[in-house]
Copies of this chain bind each other. A is one copy, B any other.
Amino acid sequence: MKKQETPIKDLLQKITQVLHKYERMEKLPLVVDAGEGTPLTVSTKEVHTIEVIGDHQEINITDVAGHFGITKSGASQMIAKLEKRGLVERRQSAHSNKEYWLYLTRKGWAAYHAHERMHGEDREVLFEHLSEVPISDLKKTAQILGMFEQTLDARLNQADMKKT
Return the chain B residue nearest A17 by Cβ.
Answer: B69
Return the chain B residue nearest A20 by Cβ.
Answer: B69
B10, B17, B69, B144: the one contacting A68 at CB < 8 Å is B17
Point out which of A14, A22, A149, A152 has the most chain B C-beta atoms below 10 A from its C-beta. Answer: A22
Secondary structure dominating the interface of A: helix
Is B155's CB under 8 angstroms from A122's CB?
A: yes
Point out which of A5, A21, A48, A125 has the most chain B C-beta atoms below 10 A from its C-beta. Answer: A21
Per-position 1/0 for A106-148, Cβ under 8 A of B = 0000000000000100110111011101010111111011111
Given the interface contacts A11-B141, A130-B8, A135-B4, does A148 sit within 8 Å of B18 by beta carbon? yes
Q: Judge if A3 is at the interface, Cβ distance under 8 Å.
A: yes
Task: For A5, list chain B residues within 8 Å (CB).
Answer: 127
Task: For A81, list chain B residues within 8 Å (CB).
Answer: none
Task: For A147, list chain B residues within 8 Å (CB).
Answer: 126, 129-130, 133
Task: For A149, list chain B residues within 8 Å (CB).
Answer: 14, 17-18, 21
CA distance A130 to B150 in the complex (A): 12
